[in-house]
A = this chain, B = another copy of it.
Amino acid sequence: MSAQDRHESPDSAPPRPVGGVSRRRFLGGAGTATAATAGGFVLGAGGVLAATATTASGEDTSPAALLTRGEAANDLLSYPYYGEHQGGIATPPQNHLVFTSFDVRATSAVELQLVLAKWSAAMAEMTAGRPVGKVEPTREHGIPVDTGEVFDTGPQGLTLTLGFGPSLFDGRFGLEKFKPLNFDDLPAMAGESLNPAYTGGDLCIQACANDPQVAYHAVRNLARMARTQVSTKWTVLGFGRASAGPAQKTPRNLLGFKDGTRNVSTPDDFAQHVWTGKEAGQPWMEGGTYLVARKIHMLIETWDEDTIGDQQSIFGRTKQEGAPLSGKLEHDVPNFHATEGNDPLIPADAHMSLVAHENNGGTKVLRRSYNFTDGLDSVGRLDAGLMFLCFQKDPEQFVKLQRKLGLSDRLNEYIRHVGSAVFAVPAGLPEAGNYYGKEFFR
């Protein structure tokens, strides 16, 4: 798969994964004793891949063999970089996230232009599983261009999504006239305890991949190649996706509940709720979207002391199955009018009730969140939560829902919004030779 290949899928449809990168992961001979060269590994009689199971066709279907093949598939999985929309939005959420917000330290438009051009080209290379620069081991006195830690992992489904913060259009670079309509920092809302260390940014990169090292490598190398023009402002590593995409099993957040059951998924939904059109007043945003990032700290120990019944009424769903309290199965359509006696089965102030499109004039956002943990806090409690990421055609969609949640959500007793940012995510690049923001510098 060449980085020049166009993304040819129909408008607004989720992107197709493609295979074909030539470097194949070394497969350890599943089910077979393998003797490596001297100094290498020897798989003994009680070796790790001994648990074999073969089908009538002779295919090895043991968990170990399937796992090995699954890992090899991960190596090969790549998403197209060029296309109508950027990757990492309609892409089914990969398993890992590195989200990083940057401040631009450069003082001239031409320096910013150079960063965006370099980044756009490097993003194409890394998305295809290639290093950001040639490896020339004979050039012993050269500084390595690529940092090397993913030389042999393959693309791992990497997507890189670039966003511009409102502050980028503040006049430092003469970009005022390119600012989308109604694009500003999010308004202050109830229930926030924002930490300036996790707030805002001129640029952001959302790196998602099925190997966390691949996502980390991408951000590290982008930061490195722009180190005199751009500084990292805040970063969050997501260690488990917490929003389902099309055809994915619904994952769970760290409160133990399924998250993303009713997520935006159809092309119609994407067209109606996610992809920005002419309303931004900027051609570069047609086919783009807005990313809202909220770092949400969870008071895990407190939550863990709550009863199962209370937890369920806070979410409006059962914990084990994830069914709405008005139904039996996860994907049962919630009935907000169903009652038992005088009480609604789904409380009106349940999290699900407050955000349901039925109760918000049809408003939806595409959630693409990840769980995170920063280890322990200063008093030894688990420092963890949800890196809430959502995409919408207008930031007002998020603001409308969050205003309601901030005022009424019973979940607020257990969560704190500690970080926040909004970014305008430009449309995809049509083909090689283009770069994000090119329109700004004519």
Which residue numbers of A lie inside 8 Å of B, CB to CB? 9-10, 13-19, 25-26, 28-29, 34, 36-51, 53, 57, 59, 62-74, 76-77, 91-92, 95-96, 135, 137, 139-144, 146-152, 210-213, 216, 220, 223-224, 227, 231-237, 239-240, 244-249, 252-257, 261-263, 265-267, 300-301, 304-309, 311-312, 318-320, 329-334, 371, 373-376, 380, 382, 384
Separation of A311 and B267 alpha carbons in the complex (Å):
49
| Interface pairs (27), CB distance under 8 Å | A14-B48, A16-B48, A17-B63, A37-B332, A41-B248, A42-B265, A44-B266, A44-B267, A48-B246, A57-B57, A63-B76, A66-B69, A67-B77, A69-B73, A135-B319, A137-B318, A141-B308, A141-B309, A143-B305, A144-B304, A146-B256, A151-B252, A211-B240, A212-B212, A213-B371, A234-B376, A239-B239
Q: Among B46, B76, B307, which residue has its beta carbon within 8 angstroms of that of A13?
A: B46
Distance in angstroms from A434 CB to nearest chain B CB is: 23
Separation of A51 and B73 alpha carbons in the complex (Å):
12
Contacts of A34 in B (CB 8 A): 247
Separation of A332 and B210 alpha carbons in the complex (Å):
31
Separation of A41 and B62 alpha carbons in the complex (Å):
30
Q: Among B13, B50, B149, B210, which residue has its beta carbon within 8 angstroms of that of A47?
A: B13
User: B77–A70 contact, CB under 8 A?
Assistant: no
Which B residue's beta carbon lies closest to that of A247? B28
Contacts of A261 in B (CB 8 A): 39-40
User: B307–A247 contact, CB under 8 A?
Assistant: no
User: A329–B37 contact, CB under 8 A?
Assistant: yes
User: B66–A70 contact, CB under 8 A?
Assistant: yes
User: B73–A67 contact, CB under 8 A?
Assistant: yes
User: A43–B308 contact, CB under 8 A?
Assistant: no
Separation of A73 and B381 alpha carbons in the complex (Å):
33
Distance in angstroms from A237 CB to nearest chain B CB is: 7
Contacts of A374 in B (CB 8 A): 374-375
Which B residue's beta carbon lies closest to that of A300? B220
Contacts A39-B262, A70-B67, A320-B135 hold; do A232 and B376 have CB atoms under 8 A apart? yes
User: A212–B236 contact, CB under 8 A?
Assistant: no
Distance in angstroms from A381 CB to nearest chain B CB is: 8
User: A140–B247 contact, CB under 8 A?
Assistant: no
User: A246–B140 contact, CB under 8 A?
Assistant: no
Distance in angstroms from A403 CB to nearest chain B CB is: 25
Distance in angstroms from A358 CB to nearest chain B CB is: 11
Contacts A249-B26, A333-B39 hold; do A45 and B142 have CB atoms under 8 A apart? no
Distance in angstroms from A241 CB to nearest chain B CB is: 9
Contacts of A266 in B (CB 8 A): 42, 44
Separation of A302 and B253 alpha carbons in the complex (Å):
37
Distance in angstroms from A272 CB to nearest chain B CB is: 14
User: A257–B148 contact, CB under 8 A?
Assistant: yes
Contacts of A74 in B (CB 8 A): 63, 67, 70
User: A16–B253 contact, CB under 8 A?
Assistant: no
Contacts of A312 in B (CB 8 A): 140
Contacts A144-B319, A261-B39 hold; do A77 and B64 have CB atoms under 8 A apart? yes
Contacts A67-B73, A149-B256, A239-B239 hold; do A46 and B247 have CB atoms under 8 A apart? no
Separation of A39 and B334 alpha carbons in the complex (Å):
9
Contacts of A28 in B (CB 8 A): 247-249
Q: Given A64-B77, A374-B374, 19 other A-B contacts at CB below 8 A? A: A13-B44, A15-B48, A16-B51, A42-B246, A48-B247, A57-B57, A59-B59, A135-B320, A140-B308, A143-B305, A143-B307, A144-B311, A147-B254, A147-B304, A216-B254, A220-B300, A223-B382, A227-B301, A232-B376
